[in-house]
């Protein structure tokens, strides 16, 4: 992105996390849009076979979290991990057969979500320790003071196309634009934690549930209309929020694929360009291998 950043002023913190198990209760079932009971995997643990660039929906899954779901055992330390970790930050596996492998943060969902290459992912399981090299909160755009940046590593912003345009607006490429009607669970929460579930993307269910969002892919950059995420997540005419799809298929009603917040501000501060390649897959996966060399992004030292 052609843009002036304050990246040199940011500090980097080393944070510990742990791959967290999937959780259930003894009643097992939750309830879908038409009252269907379901018991479906996808949240917590290590979810295999779904990576950046893959379809977000179409799986027999609920709250699909691609890759490893990471948190910290202690409540306060966990909130620091969730708040300070940014999309694009590198994550190193510290224990288990995959020790030494590197992946990248693709978003938050009450867990830090980490995508690894498929052969690395196969060796990761619940309880593995990981290290997040966290940098990005505090990022600011000197030429776009009305735009707030969140959860975004400097390397990710630099890798994205667009930037300051001749008209002074911030050009951002997005794979899809999301109407305010789609905003589901996550409304009213802080935008440094979890994400915003999008309704209207229940693949295979009724047309009356659809808002045309079934084509979203993991890692897609999306624009949320009438959304102000500068100080939390709220509906607000005249505002726009840019996010990255970090979670996928949901059966739970009022939930769905979710963007983690990256940029938010008055709609007229942005110039949105529709671009099917606007995806983390275009940037994070470039040069992906198990040794973890990712040009253009931060690497763990």
Partner 1 sequence: MNAAGAASPGAELRPVAVNLLGVVEQPELGSTPYRVDDDGRPYVPVGDGGIVLGLRLGESVFARDADHAAPGACLVHPDQAARHALAAYSCIGNMAVVRTGRAAGARGAVLGQRGEGGRVIAAFAQEDLARMRPADQVTVRACGQGWRPPGFPPEVAVLNLDPAVVTVLPVATGDGGPVRAGVRMIVPSKFSGNGIGRPSASWDLDLQIRAGLGVADLLLGDLVAVSDLDARYNMGYRSGWLTVGLVVHGASPLPGHGPGITPILTGPASALLAEPDEAGHTGLTEAALQRFSAAELEVQ
Place of tokens 């510990």: 16
For residues 154-171, one letter each, b for 16 or more C-beta atoms within 10 angstroms of the residue's C-beta and e for the rest, the string is bbbbbbbbbbbeeeebbb
Candidates 209, 267, 273, 300: give the one binding partner 1 (CB under 8 A): 209
Q: Which of residues 31-60 bind partner 1 (CB under 8 A)?
A: 31, 33-35
CB of 93 to partner 1, least distance (A): 33
For position 180 contacting partner 1 by CB under 8 A, the verdict is yes
Torsion over CA: 199, 193, 48, 275 (sign): positive
CB of 203 to partner 1, least distance (A): 15
CB 155 within 8 A of CB 133: no
Q: Which is nearer to partner 1, 165 or 232 (CB)?
A: 232
CB of 123 to partner 1, least distance (A): 34
Q: Which is nearer to partner 1, 49 or 188 (CB)?
A: 188
Q: Which residues pair with 270 in a beta bridge?
A: 170
For position 140 contacting partner 1 by CB under 8 A, the verdict is no
For position 238 contacting partner 1 by CB under 8 A, the verdict is no
For position 189 contacting partner 1 by CB under 8 A, the verdict is yes
For position 182 contacting partner 1 by CB under 8 A, the verdict is yes
**Among the residue ranges 135-143, 162-170, 181-189, 285-293, the one whose residues contact partner 1 (CB under 8 A):** 181-189
Torsion over CA: 232, 252, 246, 43 (sign): positive
Q: Which is nearer to partner 1, 59 or 253 (CB)?
A: 253
Q: Angle at the Cα of 241 (from 239 to 244), degrees rounded to 5?
A: 170
Place of tokens 């959304």: 227
Residues 6+ apart with CB under 8 A from 210: 200, 201, 202
Place of tokens 């607000």: 236
**Among the residue ranges 26-34, 40-48, 81-89, 101-109, the one whose residues contact partner 1 (CB under 8 A):** 26-34
Q: Which is nearer to partner 1, 16 or 146 (CB)?
A: 146
For position 228 contacting partner 1 by CB under 8 A, the verdict is yes
**Among the residue ranges 2-10, 197-205, 281-289, 291-299, the one whose residues contact partner 1 (CB under 8 A):** 197-205
Output the six-digit token pair for 298: 């931060």
For position 231 contacting partner 1 by CB under 8 A, the verdict is yes
Q: Please provide the distance, in angstroms rounded to a whole number, between the alpha carbons at the two ends of the chain.
A: 24
For position 267 contacting partner 1 by CB under 8 A, the verdict is no
Q: Applying CB under 8 A, what is the total number of residues that bind partner 1?
A: 36
Pick from 135, 158, 149: which is nearest to 11 by CA?
Answer: 135
Q: Which is nearer to partner 1, 18 or 192 (CB)?
A: 192
CB of 213 to partner 1, least distance (A): 11
CB 218 within 8 A of CB 198: no
For position 167 contacting partner 1 by CB under 8 A, the verdict is no
Residues 6+ apart with CB under 8 A from 140: 5, 6, 149
Residues that bind partner 1 (CB under 8 A): 31, 33-35, 179-189, 197, 199-200, 206, 208-209, 211, 226, 228-236, 252-255
């Amino acid at each position: 992105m052609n843009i002036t950043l304050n990246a040199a002023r940011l500090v980097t913190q080393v944070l510990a996390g742990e791959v967290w198990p999937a959780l259930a209760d003894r009643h097992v079932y939750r309830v879908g849009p038409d009252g269907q009971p379901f018991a479906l995997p996808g949240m917590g643990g290590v979810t295999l076979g779904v990576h950046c660039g893959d379809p977000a929906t179409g799986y027999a899954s609920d709250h699909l979290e691609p890759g490893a779901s990471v948190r910290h055992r202690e409540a306060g330390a966990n909130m620091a991990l969730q708040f300070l970790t940014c999309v694009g930050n590198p994550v190193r596996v510290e224990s288990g057969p995959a020790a030494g492998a590197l992946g990248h943060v693709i978003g938050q969902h009450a867990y830090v979500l980490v995508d690894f290459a498929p052969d690395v992912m196969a060796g990761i399981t619940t309880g593995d320790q990981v290290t997040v090299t966290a940098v990005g909160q505090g990022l600011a755009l000197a030429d776009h003071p009305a735009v707030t940046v969140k959860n975004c590593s400097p390397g990710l912003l630099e890798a994205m196309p667009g930037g300051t345009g001749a008209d002074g607006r911030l050009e951002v490429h997005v794979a899809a634009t999301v109407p305010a009607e789609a905003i589901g669970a996550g409304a009213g929460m802080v935008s440094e934690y979890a994400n915003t579930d999008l309704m209207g993307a229940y693949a295979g269910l009724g047309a009356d549930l659809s808002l045309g969002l079934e084509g979203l892919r993991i890692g897609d950059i999306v624009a949320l209309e009438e959304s102000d995420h500068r100080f939390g997540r709220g509906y607000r005419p005249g505002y726009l929020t840019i996010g990255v799809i970090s979670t996928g298929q949901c059966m739970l009603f009022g939930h769905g694929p979710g963007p983690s917040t990256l940029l938010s501000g008055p709609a007229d501060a942005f110039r949105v360009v529709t671009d099917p390649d606007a995806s983390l897959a275009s940037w994070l996966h470039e040069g992906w291998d198990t040794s973890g060399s990712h040009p253009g992004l931060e690497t763990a030292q």
